[in-house]
Structure formats: structure tokens, C-alpha cells
Structure 1
Amino acid sequence: MPDYIKQALPQQERDMSAIEHTARSMLADIKQNGDAAVTRYAEELDKWQGGEFRVSEDQIAAAEASLPETFKEDFEFCHRQIVDFAKRQLATLIDFECETEPGIFLGQKQIPIGNVGCYIPGGKYPLVAAASMSVGVACAAGVDHIIGCAPPRDGKEMYAPTLYALHKAGAHEIYVLGGIQAMAAMAYGCVGMHAVDLITGPGNAYVAEAKRQLYGTVGIDLLAGPTEILIIADDTADPELIATDLLGQAEHGPDSPAWLVTTSKHIGEETLKHVEVQLKTLPTKSVAGPAWRDYGEIVVVADTDEAIQISDRYAPEHLELMTSKDDEYLARLKNYGSLFVGEEATVAYGDKGIGTNHTLPTSGAARYTGGLWVGKFIKTVTYQRLKKSASRDIAPVLARQCEVEGMLAHGITCDVRHVRYAGAND
């Protein structure tokens, strides 16, 4: 039976009706009124004063010139790690054709999506690394045309590091546009954009709701909620380091859960002390403090089995291991967005550019999906082809299956081939 040293406060289910209504109204308005509606919302919500939404080559050059070489070098390193890992993932997706029965050939092909729109949020934390995670990975997948979008920081311009990152990551067109209006513009093809087939990127609750409602009109990567971290630790772990990593994720927002599951009560108690000490001097304590107060948990479990059971039930976005049995946990854990094995690894590495993607499932979605990866920009499709004799021989079997299901017209398509190829000898 787990013992909670600290438990999250009871949370009421958030009423999303107002957000749903706002997103639905804005999407309908933009679908009907196009550029005029997009411009109106950009002016109202982003205080847009910049004229053309599409970023010019001169603006890209100016942003690049304004940035220090250390940033450019660091970005290049991180971008290279992300794209290289994506290419290695791509190599695991193969085309093949096999003969399953004499004369019956089934195949699989990998086809990149044609047009993709990638959104980079620009709120409290402009997620510059998201350019490589989305645009860069889409390029690695072979996507034909990629649009990058990010909101203005001052009503006129995109944050220079974000603009630089979108350009270097390979976006074919870049637009200064944020929020629901950006999602709608990419989906419907407004303000000079090509309508895309898939939109990706994190954002606030309004952006997430817009993506949810646009699904079907376009594909989406996934619906992300508040970021979360879970750490599994035993008596060999350093409680000061555990506290640092918990707070490192809690700074994302006041509703970001941070959980510790430990087989050691001593480690749990010491971690709680270190969290309280570190919060006193943490630069982002105004955000991380409420997140820890309301959503932080420390739970003591009996053994490895119970730790795995609880972790898989939580299905965390980020899962760190600080134990003497990391390999066993790696082999047995099933539900997580990304796993950080050993104290040498940390979520910040994955968030910023070690190579694995940072767009990951939250709110328990890791029970049924992984995160954004090169395969999200690829359609795995299948095909069949048959020799005439094979079509004749299989026709009666499949015609009877059609008859069982009451699909008589389907059955006729089988029957005519049985007759048509009666004398076939290939």
C-alpha cells in the first residue's frame, strides 16, 4: 500500500466550455471570412502592427545578424542531434513487398505528408527548440512544404531566436502569427499560406482546443496539457538532485505536476526538505512554488513492482530513473512519453536538444500513444497485387465472407473475377 509523504491537493475538473466556445466561434469566423478575420484577431489578441504576416528574407537576415555566435553554434549542435536521431528513426520505417500465397503480393510503402504547419509558442517561455523538434524532423521525414508560425513578441516582430531557428530548421515559409488564428490560418490556407495537411506544436489551452476542433480537417500531432514529471528513486539516489529536477519541470506553469515515487521513506522525506530549501532561491519560484504546492506528490512504495505499477498508472510525460535497477525499470516500464535513465540524464536535455523529441503525451495519454517523431510525418500505406490465377482461386473464399456479412455487391466483385480468370494459367 503506497504511503504519501505529500499528496496533490484535490482538483476540480476544469470547465472547458468557455474555451471550447471561443475556439469554435473563432474557427468558424476565420473559415468564413478568411484573411480579414485572421487580421482582426491578430490585432486584437497579439496587438499586431506589422503589416504583412509572412516574414521576409530581410527580416530573417536581420534576426540572424542580431544573435550572438554562441547561440548559433549551440543551436546548430542541438539541431544536428535532433535531426540525426530522426533520420535513425526513419531508417526503421521500411518499404517491403511479400508473397503471402502463390500469386498474392502484399506491400507497404512510407509516403511523407505533403504539407505541414508547425507552431512555436511564444508566451512565458518561447520554446525555440520546438523548431527543430517539428520543422527539422518534418524535413528529415521528407515533407514537401513546411510552414512555420510563431506569435509576435511586441506586436511587430517574432522573437529573433525563434525566427532564426525556424529558418535554419528548414521552414519554407514563416509567418508571425499566434494562437487560434495561426492554427486556423494553416488549416484553411489564409494570409498567403498553403492549406496544410497536418499541424503540430504545443500552446496554451486555446491553441490545444483549436487543434482538437480542427482534427479531421487536418491531422494533428497530439493534444498536450500541462507538462509533468515523475521520478522513480531508491535509497541510492541523491535527494537534492531529485528536488532540483522536480522543480525544473514545475517552473513550466502553476498546474504542472511533479511526482516522486520512491522505495525509500528517507529519500522521500529528504527530497521534501530540499524542495522547500531550493524554492527559497529558485528564480522561477512564483510559478514552481504553486505547482509544487498544489500538484506535487511524494509517494513511498514497497518495492520495484509497486513503483512500476504506480508509474504506469500515472503514465507521465517525462519519467526519470534514479535507482540501482535502472535496466530493470527500462525493460519493464510501459507507459511514459520519454524516459531518462540514470541521474546523468535529465528532462532539460530532452527538452532542448539531446536528440529525442520534446513534444510528448500528457494527462495519461502515454497509455496509448508516444510523442511526436519522424513517423508522424509519414503515412504508412499498403497495397496488393495478384496474378490472374491467384485472383480466381481466392475469389470464392472472399465472396463467401462477403455473403456472411450481407454485402452482396462486394461479393459480386469477387464472383466476376472468378469467372473472368477461369482459364488463367499465368
Structure 2
Amino acid sequence: MGRQYLKEVTGLPGLKTAPNMDVSAIVKDVIYSIRKDGDAAVRKYSEKFDKWSPPSFKLSQSEINAAIANCPRQTLDDIEEVQQNVRDFAKAQRNSIKDFEVELRPGVHLGQKNVPIDNVGAYIPGGRYPLLASAHMTILTAKVAGVKNVIGCTPPINGKVPNSTVAAMHLAGADEIFIVGGVQAVAAMAVGTETIQKVDFLAGPGNAFVAEGKRQLFGEVGIDLFAGPTEILVLADETADAFTVATDLISQAEHGPDTPAVLITTCPKVGRDTIEIVERLLYNSDLSTASVAKTSWDAFGEVIVVDTMGEMWELGNQYASEHVQIFTRSPRDALEHLTSYGALFLGEKTCVSFGDKVIGTNHVLPTRTTSRYTGGLWVGKYLKTCTYQEVTSEQASGDLGRLCGRAARAENFEAHARSGDLRASKYKKDQIQWIKKSQAATGVRL
């Protein structure tokens, strides 16, 4: 039969010709202004983009307490339960990363230490929805890694402090919380202002402007990863329940109007039924986000039928999607066959929404096929893996000196070679001509 497309991508009208350079230029101007004018520029852009200009963007402890007090008790309980899941998994990750030291040869000690970044800026988006989970994923994970200072920024929602987001940020361990959003937030954290401390690393998802801001600031600060619109890929065989597949595709399509939602299946009936059910759920339901999900599904939804499981795995790796759900007879086969994905969700009892909101793994994940070379945000992103070395043996130092001299001269690095020569002379008593001449000229004796 060959590969069959039951539904293909059409794209949004004008999307590919959207003025990307305008986004880049706007972001460049914002960064320049904040670098030049500090807090005044942050306020200007906050007023322009968010209609938000409080006396202070930084929340005081009393304001944080008030925000928490305005949250329902159940919301706070749920935040704490979810954060415990995230904390437990992040701790397990941290415990898997070991410092070590080896004696490579007698008297030559090489070691590795995993050193936390000192200052991190966490961006918690909130333009369309209050994304509490992003606070858990960015701030809490950084704290488990051992980051000393975490600044959190989140935008106002409809001109108000997003109480539940603030509660999540505080409970996650944020040292300072600012109600400021967009590229002005990431730029302020990256370059520093009168009131916002410069950070060393930026983490967290955001819109196209935030993503472009992180791209332009990368190098001046570190970033977690380049992220685009949310993606979901479902890989299914004939055992998959089409209603569940359809529901889970829609769950991600509601993120925004440009979310790829893709089904690859070996079963034509599963494919056809999924399309029919998605249409019914989007057109004939009370789903509050149906209009957004429908736009995304119509433009970027795909359903592909393949002949074999092998072809399904191969095509899945080509898509290299952010979220990959496995609805097959043996879901754990995916662990052997898939190599490019942000996160895997194995079996019908698991769904991407668990990963997005509650289960404990991190939801800041690679998109747009970048999972071919990177994983998502995790404890290790907040750690600098640093090496050290110590030579305690005169014999080893002399031997390495001889080796260094030869290796460096093979690359025409004479000064490097002489550092090695010096150890060979001191500890192996090698007679080296340039050292003799230098001693005569300087009067220095080894």
C-alpha cells in the first residue's frame, strides 16, 4: 500500500511569509533599549505590550502572601503535590550525576565536579493561560540542582497579578518574583537593570518574541533550549482506541494555532476514526478552547498510515517530535526503536497532559526536530560540569612534560612546549637548550 496521508498539513494562510524579520527587529530594539535605559525601558515596554505599570515590578513578601491567600486551598494543595513529584524526579536526576576523581597513572589525578550555576532567570509565560507548571519545571528544578539565586518573571493576566502563578513560583523557591512579561522580562534578566539582577542563565518557554529574545541573548547568557510551538506525535497500531487518540491530539492542539498534532498508525481504521472523532469533538462540543484547537488541527494536523511497525518507528524518528505517545500492543518497544524525541509517553494509561502538568518529568522540551541533538530541561542544565587536575608525582610531571613538549611542537605551539620542557628539566633532569640560555640571560636557576 505504501505510505498514505489521510490528512495533510495545509498551514495557516500567510504563515510562511510572516515578517520574521520584524520580530527580530522588535526584539533587538527592546534589548538595546533595556541595555541602555534599564528599568525605564522595562516600564515603557511593559506599558506598551501588557498595559502594566505598577509602582514596582518586584513583588514584596506581603504581596506574595496576599497572592497566596487569594488562591483556593485546593489549588495550593495541588501545587504542592505536583511540586513534590517534580522535586522527587529532579532529585533522582541529581543523584545520578556524580562527581569523581581518578588516578589515571601514579601521581596524576583527574577529577570532575558538577557546579551549580550561581544566578538563573526563570520566565513563566502567561499571556493566554496561567502556566503554573512552568514554575515547577524551571524554578524548582534549578533549586534542586543547587542554584543559589533564582529570579522569576511572569506577565500580568488581564492587568492583574496572576495569584496562582505567583504561589507556584514562591513555593518552588523563587528568591525574587517580578510581574513583568515578554521579551522585556528576559532582556532585563539577561543584561541587568537597576532593580533586576543580571543572571547567568535563562530558562523557560514563551512566545515568538521571548524565543527570539533568548536566541539573541544566547552567548551573553546561557539558555535552556530553543523552543517553538508545542508538538504532539502519536504512534499507534490496531490496538489503539481512536477516541483516546483524538482526545490527546486535541489536548495539545489547544496550546496555540500553530501546534503540530500528528498521528502515524499502521491501522487505516484507527486513522479514519481518529479524524472523524477529532472533527466531532471540535465542532460539536462545549470545549472552551475549541476554536484555537480547531485552527491548529485544520492547519497542522496530520494522519499518516504506514505498512509496518518498522516504518512507523522510522518515520517517528524523522518527525523528532517534542511529545511522543505510544499506543501499541507493546509500548515499551519504543525505548528500543526511537532515538529522537523530547519525551515519551508509553501506553494508553499515560498522556502528554500528565507530563505537561503533574507527573514530575520536565515539560520544557525540544521542538522543531531539535530533539535530534538535545533533550529537554533537567537538573543537569543548571550544572556546569567542570574538570580539575593535579600532578603529585615528580616522575609523572617529568614524563608528561616530555610528552607535552613533543605534542605541542607537532602543532607549532613553542610556548606550550616550553611549559612541558620546564617540568622535564626539573623532574627528569633533561638538558634543554632554551632553558640553559634563559638561565644565563636571567640569572635564574631551577
TM-score, normalising length: structure 1:
0.97
Task: Judge conservation of contact 1:118–1:199 (CA < 8 Å) in 2.
Answer: yes
- 1:417 aligned to 2:416? no
Point out the more displaced range, 83-92 or 412-421: 412-421
Select between 3-12 and 280-289 the one with higher mean Cα deviation. 3-12
1:303 to 2:292 alignment: no
Structure ID, larger Rg: 2
Counterpart AA for 1:151: P
- Does residue 364 in structure 1 map to residue 369 in structure 2? yes
8 A contact 1:330–1:341 mirrored in 2: no
Q: Cα distance, 1:403 vs. partner?
A: 1.1
Residue 15 of structure 1, CA deviation: 4.0
Assess if the C-alpha contact under 8 Å between 2:68 and 2:163 holds in 1. Answer: yes
1:185, 1:191 within 8 Å by CA — same for their partners in 2? Answer: no
Partner SS for 2:303: strand
Tell me by how many angstroms 1:191 deviates.
Answer: 4.2
Q: Which residue of 1 aligns with 2:272?
A: 269
Provide the residue aligned with 1:319 in structure 2.
324
Aligned to 2:193: 190
Equivalent residue number for residue 441 of structure 2 = none
Following superposition of structure 1 onto structure 2, how do residues 153-192 of structure 1 map, counting pairs within 5 Å? 153-155=157-159, 157-192=160-195
In the TM superposition, what whole-angstrom CA distance separates every residue of 1:79-106 from its partner, at most 9, and x where no partner exists? 0000110000000110100111222111
CA distance in 1, matches of 2:428, 2:38: 57
- For 1:49 and 1:116, the matched residues in 2 are separated by 24
Q: Which shifted more, 146-155 or 107-116? A: 146-155
Q: Deviations over 1:71-129 (max 9, x none)?
A: 11111100000011000000011010011122211110010000001010111122111
Cα distance in 1 between the residues matched to 2:194 and 2:55 = 11
- Separation (CA, whole Å) in 2 of partners of 1:234 and 1:422: 69
- Is 1:223–1:361's contact at 8 Å kept on the other side of the alignment? yes
C-alpha distance after superposition, 1:337-376 (max 9, x if no partner):
0100001000110001210000000001100000000111
Counterpart check, 1:109 vs 2:113: yes
Which whole-Å CA distance do the structure 1 matches of 2:35 and 2:53 have between them?
23
Contact in 1 for aligned 2:43/2:53 (Cα 8 Å): no
Counterpart in 1 of 2:146?
A: 142
Partner of 2:337: 332
- One-letter amino acid of the counterpart of residue 257, structure 2: P
Cα distance in 2 for residues equivalent to 1:230 and 1:275 = 15
Instruction: Give yes or no for contact 1:201–1:359 (8 Å, CA) kept in 2.
Output: yes
> Does structure 1 conserve the Cα–Cα contact (< 8 Å) formed by 2:108 and 2:396?
yes
The residue aligned with 2:20 is 16
Q: Choose from 78, 90, 97 the match for 1:86.
A: 90
Is residue 249–residue 258 contact of structure 1 (8 Å, CA) maintained in 2? yes
- What is the DSSP-based 3-state SS (H/G/I as helix, E as strand, rest coil) of the residue aligned with 1:108? strand
Deviation string, structure 1 residues 237-259 (Cα, Å, up to 9, x no partner): 10011000001100111110000
Which residue identity is paired with 2:3?
A: P
Q: Does the CA-based 8 Å contact 1:53-1:191 persist in structure 2?
A: no
Counterparts of 2:17 and 2:199, CA distance in 1 = 33
Structure 1 residue ranges without an equivalent (≥5): none
Q: Which stretch of structure 1 is more off in the superposition, 327-336 or 109-118?
A: 327-336
Q: 1:193 offset after TM fit, Å?
A: 2.0
Equivalent residue number for residue 2 of structure 1: 3
When normalised by structure 2's length, the TM-score is 0.93
Measure, in 2, the Cα distance between the counterparts of 1:226 and 1:32.
31
2:126 to 97, 112, 122: 122
Q: Which residue of 2 aligns with 1:38?
A: 42
**Contact preservation (8 Å) 1:116, 1:147:** yes
What letter is aligned with 1:284? T
The one-letter code of the counterpart of 1:46 is D
Asked if the contact 1:150–1:158 (Cα under 8 Å) also holds between the matched residues in 2, the reply is no
Mapped to 2, the partners of 1:328 and 1:129 lie a distance apart of 29
Residues 10-29 of structure 1, C-alpha deviations (whole Å, 9 max, x = no match): 67365411111111111011
Identity %: 46
SS in 2 for 1:129: helix
- 2:434 corresponds in structure 1 to none
Q: CA RMSD in A?
A: 1.3
